[in-house]
Amino acid sequence: MTPPDGRATVLVAPRPWAKALPALGVALIWAFLIVFLVYPLLRLFYDAFTDDAGRFTLLNFYEFFTDRFYLRSLWNSILLGVGTVVATSVLGVAIAFLLVRYDFWGRSVFSYLTLIPIISPPLVGVLGFTFIMGRAGTINVFLMDYLDMLTPINFVYGIHGVLLVETLHLFPMITLNVVDALGKVDPSLEEAAESVGARAWRKTWTITLPLTTPGYMAGALLVFIWTFADFATPLILGVHDLLASQAYLNVVQFVDRRLFRMGIVISALMVILAVLFLIAAKQYVAIKDYSSLAYSKVERRRLSPVKQILVVAALSFVMLLSFIPYIGVTLAAFGKGWSLTLVPLQYTLQYFERVIVETPKYILNSFLYSGIAVGLCILVGVPIAWMLARTRLPGNGALDALNTLILAIPGTAVGIAYIRAFHVEIPGLGVALTSVWIIMPLVLAVRRLPYTVRGSYASLLLVHTSMEEAAANVGATGFQTFRDITLPLIWKGVLVGGLFSFMTSLQEASATLFLSLGGWEMMTVGIFNFYIAGSANEAAALGFILIVVAALSLIVINRVAGTRMGGMFG
Amino acid sequence: MKRTTLTAVALLLAALVGGAGLAQAQAPIEDELVLQTPVSKFIVDAALKAFAQYAKEKWNVNLKTNALYAGTPVSYGRIVEWKGKPEVDIFWGGESALFDKLAEQKLLVKVEISKAAWDAIPASIGKPKPVPLKDPNGFWVGTALEPYGLVYHPRVLKRLGVAELKDWEDVLNPKLKGNVAQCAPTRSSSSHATYEVILQEKGDAKGWEWLQRLAANSGIFTARSRDVPSVVAKGEFAVGFAVPSYMAFEEKLAGFDIKFVAPKNAFVTPEPMGILAGAKHPKAARAFVEFLLTEQGQRVFMERGLFPITPKYKVQGPPGSTAELAVEFTGGVRSYFDAPVSNIYDDDIAQKRYKEVNEQYRKDIEAVLDDLKKKY
């Protein structure tokens, strides 16, 4: 049936190719996720459920659940997570309501400032906190030297300190999501409530809050998981009886193989718990989902001058508290020999000289790896978003679930899983992936993929398919349509997602800590190395640079995305 | 045209011959050296820098150095995991028993430095229990003497009305309740030794009670041993338990007000060094070990709060030098070979019951910390 003349073949030939290409793309994306996400996690579970000889066993878990100390750690972790969710919710929801519903002096400045606590650099953020709030911190020095208090107040050492630090760090996650969700509440519903006589509180309680539940739950889940997985904060504050601390401390005990295996078991348990929380949250949202789709213009109520002053004062106070880490980090980055005085007495640039001039590798590696990671995120993430938004391919549900799952898996577990999974020689190459630097951007790309996917997905939903169909009608191929129609319309979302992936890659300090080898150190790894080596000042200098870079990224994101950032986490 | 070609050929030949001659005469080293070590950056960076300079002067080699820092267990674990194909050339620091274990697994090669350098190091130090300073089988050699003791912040002590510390018992002072920092022996193999000193000195029953009292007096258990002098230097806590002299001295040099004391029977380690089997840069590794044992190499340690591994050298320098500051800081000691060293710590006992001690520490102290704080 083949036509004898060549031209006809030209017309026919591209078709199988054009059909095969998307299939190949889908296959590649799945291959990426299976190799770099599913396989390492399976390997982690394999280790958790076998003994040294590789036989299946439940003894590891039996040991965990019969150990008083581990059980207390589990209980404390859950309590701390719940406590942080409650505390961040009170703070975060209140601030979100103020920002969305009311107009007051400095509102837009505050809406940017409330984002800033999120970028607190790992480890040194807490350290900065102790420099100000610690037993010999500025506050206690002031109380003792100027107000004659006898013994310092213990603000930070202990689980209450962890709760305080996490709350001030993470409340923006709630704020962002609730702001986003509030923007979607149809005012007509609230008007309806008013028309049947509901007063302000009742209206908020029965109509507005339930409508923001999905957004809120997304934020709350992230706060919970973050707190659940954070090991650096509790360790600096001297709290060891938490799961994340135990996972970290045990895994770094290579000599004692039994402790090492318990570290793996605890990591696996954390993954299981995280997945359970994720499912529970999804179930809850599914039951409660009655949100409408449209973004609608909300009218802001202008507050009376007295109320304005109160609101601004309250917000400023919260901001001041949550900026404590930054103040502490900055003072430590420039101050020398700071002990028992309000602020350092001597100032120097020597720490910056050391981290910028002597060892620029920290900064170079950070940008290189995060840059490659974002490239990968876009390469893999935008097609995933497109598959989710535009196709009904089998496996899309699993794809969506995997993408959300990444957000829920503690970085420590990912790092440990990677060590276990990729410490074998790649056939034909003679090296293990763990001895090649590319593993760093790879793990970053996997961990930060969801942000790019979500950013792109949200934008794709806003582009009506009719535009793409129109292009297809005039003969554009799928790729042309994507390039000429879809991409120009969604680039903002991709950019925001990409930048968010970039910024959070720079900040990553759990998985990369386990995988970094000599010469690959990123800024966060440098922070840990300097801190561990006893040079808190150099760590602070790196932390300061990280804060500046992240703040700049946030400004760009904020400009491009406006208040829609909440969708990034949801 | 011809002349240029000829000149070029002549130059090339000269370069080849010269290069070969140099190579034969001076046995150059590889241009790279990588360490795996729990020893602090403060010491390691300085040692590597001094060695790179030495290599440049002696062999005109531009040496690239790097160090992978990790606690002793992780360092050791990595070397075992590498299974004889190590990413590094040298393992430095930690307990000498671990070096013996590595040698058993054939993961070390003999150090093989010059006889003069080897013989300058005494076989051991301390009585009644001698601490070995080099491996009779030649697989590791000590590099510097490092005592573990107590650190304190004089101003915080003063405010609490506590006299400057001298003895182990001083940390149990009730006035110091909540003001002691320590890193549990389960978390740090280097601090572990000092806990063993207490147990071996006092015997099991009394020793454990002592450690329980210490825990009850503590305000923080740090995640890493290095954090102990940091939180004391800052003034967050008044006293730190089981801290090596150099870590405290590093804080002193950074401008903090902190003091160090090594009470009787304080644990002393020779900071062993060994060359890994299968190392990619064996010549550079060997040259590094030799260098550290020269006066120039030992000076790196002496200026950082450590003590020479051989009686040949003493910590001293012009008035106001860091070496003199170090002498003042460690209570006037210039060499550990000047006076008899008292040591009761038995590493064989410690290594044999390492896990049991950790297990008991977890059960009798970490798990019941709140109760202990109420009890004592």
- Give me the residue label for tokens 């601390």: A245
Nearest of B317, B318, B295, B315 to residue B306 by alpha carbon:
B315
pLDDT of residue A431: 85
Q: How many CB atoms lie within 10 A of CB A542?
A: 34
Residue of A nearest to B228 (CA): A534
- CB spacing of B256 vs A337 below 8 angstroms: yes
pLDDT for A446 equals 95
Are A507 and A439 within 8 A, CB to CB? no
A339: chain B residues, CB-CB within 8 Å: 153, 233-235, 256-257
Query: Which residue bears the tokens 């900055």?
Result: A330
- Contact criterion met (CB below 8 Å) for B69 and A529: yes
The pair of structure tokens assigned to B196 is: 């063993």
**Which token pair is A445?**
């790309």
The 10s digit of each residue's pLDDT in B10-69 is 555 555 544 444 444 455 899 999 999 989 888 999 999 999 999 999 999 999 999 988
pLDDT score for A408: 80
Domains in chain A: boundaries:
44-337, 349-570
A69 with B76: Cβ contact below 8 A: no
> How large is the average pLDDT for residues B343-355?
91
H helices within A230-323, ranges in order? 232-236, 243-251, 257-288, 305-322
Least confident of A481-485, B297-301, B310-314: A481-485
Give the model's confidence band at B223: pLDDT under 50 very low, under 70 low, under 90 confident, else very high.
confident
- Kindly state whether A236 is in contact with chain B, defined as any CB-CB distance less than 8 angstroms: yes
Query: By three-state DSSP, how is residue B266 classified?
Result: coil
CA distance B3 to B144: 59
Residues of A in contact with B81 (CB under 8 A): 254, 423
Question: Distance (Å) from the C-alpha of residue A533 to the closest C-alpha of chain B?
Answer: 5
CB contact under 8 A, B219 and A532: no
Give the pLDDT confidence score for residue A10 in this predicted structure: 40
List the single best residue of B89, B234, B365 to mutate versus A (max A Cβ within 10 A).
B234
Locate the chain A residue with the closest alpha carbon to B247. Answer: A534
> A270 and A228 in contact (C-beta within 8 Å)?
yes
Residues of B in contact with A423 (CB under 8 A): 81
With CB atoms and an 8 Å threshold, state whether B234 touches A136.
yes
Nearest to B255 among A134, A336, A535 (CB): A336
pTM of the predicted protein model: 0.83
Q: Quick one: pLDDT at residue A368?
A: 95
Please identify, in words, the CATH class of the domain defined by B146-268+346-375.
alpha beta
A495 Rama sector, left if φ>0, alpha if ψ -120 to 50, beta otherwise: alpha
A338 touches chain B (CB under 8 A): yes
Q: How many Å lie between the alpha carbon of A409 and the closest alpha carbon of chain B? A: 23
CB-based burial label for A270 (10 Å; 0-12, 13-18, 19+): buried
Chain centroid to CA A454: 13
Q: Do domains A44-337 and A349-570 have the same CATH topology?
A: yes
Identify all chain A residues contacting B40, using CB atoms and an 8 Å cutoff. Answer: 533-534
Outline where A391-464 has alpha helix (H): 396-408, 411-422, 439-462
**3-state SS string for B83-130:** CCCCCCCEEECCCHHHHHHHHHCCCEECCCCCHHHHHCCCCEECEECC
Cβ within 8 Å, pair A533-B41? yes
d(CA A554, CA A552): 5
> What is residue A312's predicted lDDT score, i.e. its pLDDT?
93
A41 strand-pairing partners: none
> Which of B250, B255, B366 is nearest residue A337 as measured by Cβ atoms?
B255
Of B73, B234, B236, the CB nearest to A253: B73
CA distance A386 to chain B (A): 43
Radius of gyration of chain B (CA): 23
Contacts A337 to B, Cβ<8 Å: 254-257
Measured between alpha carbons, how far is B249 from B251 in angstroms, rounded to an integer? 5
Decide if A340 and B155 are in contact by the 8 Å CB cutoff: yes
Which residue from A68, A517, A533 is facing B40, i.e. has the nearest CB?
A533
Domain ranges of chain B: 28-144+270-325, 146-268+346-375
Residues constituting chain B: 376
State the Cα–Cα distance between residues B156 and A356, nearest whole angstrom.
35
Over range B313-331, report the average pLDDT. 91
B136-173 residue pLDDT tens: 999 999 999 999 999 999 999 999 999 999 999 999 99
Query: How many Cα atoms are found within 13 Å in the side-chain-facing hemisphere of A354?
Result: 19
Q: How far is A403 from chain B (nearest CA, A)?
A: 33
The residue count of chain A comes to 570
Taking the C-alpha atoms of residue A190 and residue A267, their distance in angstroms, rounded to an integer, is: 45
- How far is A535 from A359, CA to CA, in rounded Å? 14
Write the DSSP string, B201-236: HH-HHHHHHHHHHHHHHEEEE-SSTTHHHHHHHHTS
What confidence score (pLDDT) does residue A452 get? 86
Distance CA A460, CA B272 (A): 61
3 state SS of A94: helix
Instruction: Report CA-CA distances (Å) from B53 to B44, B49, B62.
Output: 14, 6, 8
Of A336, A423, A536, the CB nearest to B230: A536
Contacts of A252 in chain B (CB under 8 A): 70-71, 73-74
Structure tokens at B262: 């090594």
d(CA A381, CA B106): 47
Nearest CA in chain A to B187: A249
- Taking CA atoms, A33 is separated from A239, A278, A373, A405, in Å, by 35, 19, 14, 12
> What is the rounded CA–CA span in Å between residue A283 and residue A292?
18
**Encoding tokens for residue A82?**
């719940």
With CB atoms and an 8 Å threshold, state whether A240 touches B221.
yes
Q: What does DSSP say about strands B218-221 and B146-152: parallel, antiparallel, or unpaired? A: unpaired
CA B273 to the chain's CA centroid: 10
Chain B neighbors of A135, CB-CB under 8 A: 219, 235-237
A337–chain B Cβ distance below 8 A for any pair: yes
Contacts of B155 in chain A (CB under 8 A): 340
Residues from chain A that touch B222, judged by Cβ atoms under 8 A, are 235, 238
Nearest chain B Cα distance for residue A263, angstroms: 13
Q: How distant is the alpha carbon of residue B312 from its chain centre? A: 20
Phi, psi of B244 (to 5 degrees): -75, 150
For the B28-144+270-325 domain, the top CATH level (class) is alpha beta
CA distance A335 to A349: 9
**Higher local confidence (pLDDT), A149 or B292:** B292
Confidence at residue B89, expressed as pLDDT on a 0 to 100 scale: 96
How far is the C-alpha of B331 from the C-alpha of B219, rounded, in Å? 27
Q: What is the pLDDT of residue B93?
A: 93
- Nearest chain B residue to A425 by CA distance is B82
Pairing of strands B32-37, B64-69: parallel
pLDDT for B25 equals 45
B41 to A134: CB separation less than 8 angstroms, yes or no: no
Tokens in use for A539? 């760590």
The DSSP H or E segment spanning B4 is: helix B2-26
- Please report where in the chains the tokens 């700071």 appear, as a residue: A338
Show the tokens assigned to B97: 């028993």
Phi and psi torsions of A81, nearest 5°: -60, -50
Terminus-to-terminus CA distance in chain A, angstroms? Answer: 54
A contacts of B189 (beta carbons < 8 Å): 255
Which CATH fold would you assign to the domain A44-337? MetI-like fold (1.10.3720)
A219 compared with B230, residue with greater pLDDT: B230
Rounded percentage of chain B residues whose pLDDT exceeds 90: 74
Take residue B293 and report the two structure tokens written for it: 């044992």
DSSP structure string for B279-316: -S-HHHHHHHHHHHHSHHHHHHHHTTT-B-SSTT----
Cβ contacts from A onto B, under 8 A: 109
Q: According to the 3-state scheme, what is the secondary structure of B157-189?
A: HHHHCCCCCCCHHHHHCHHHCCCEEECCCCCCH
The pair of three-digit structure tokens given for residue A163, joined into one six-digit string: 């709760």
Least CB–CB distance from B73: residue in A157, A255, A337: A255
Interface check A339 vs B, CB under 8 A? yes
DSSP letter for A304, please.
Answer: P
Q: List, for chain A, all residue ranges whose pLDDT scores fall below the cut of 50.
A: 1-14, 289-293, 570
Question: What ranges make up the beta strands (E) of A77-188?
Answer: 102-103
CATH T-level assignment (fold) for domain A349-570: MetI-like fold (1.10.3720)
Higher pLDDT, B5 or A536: A536
Taking the C-alpha atoms of residue B223 and residue B183, their distance in angstroms, rounded to an integer, is 6
Do the Cβ atoms of A252 and B67 come within 8 Å? no
Interhelix angle A159-184/A68-101, rounded to 10 degrees, is 40
**Cβ A338–B234 below 8 Å, yes or no?**
yes
Q: How crowded is residue B318: how many other Cβ atoms within 10 Å of its Cβ?
A: 7
**Distance (Å, rounded) from C-alpha B251 to C-alpha B226?**
11
For chain B, give the mean pLDDT.
90
Report the amino acid identity of residue A492.
K
Residue of B nearest to A155 (CA): B236
Among the partner residues A135, A518, A533, nearest to B66 by beta-carbon distance: A518
Residue B81 to residue A130, Cβ atoms within 8 A = no
A519 → closest Cβ in B41, B66, B81: B66
CA distance A451 to A498: 7
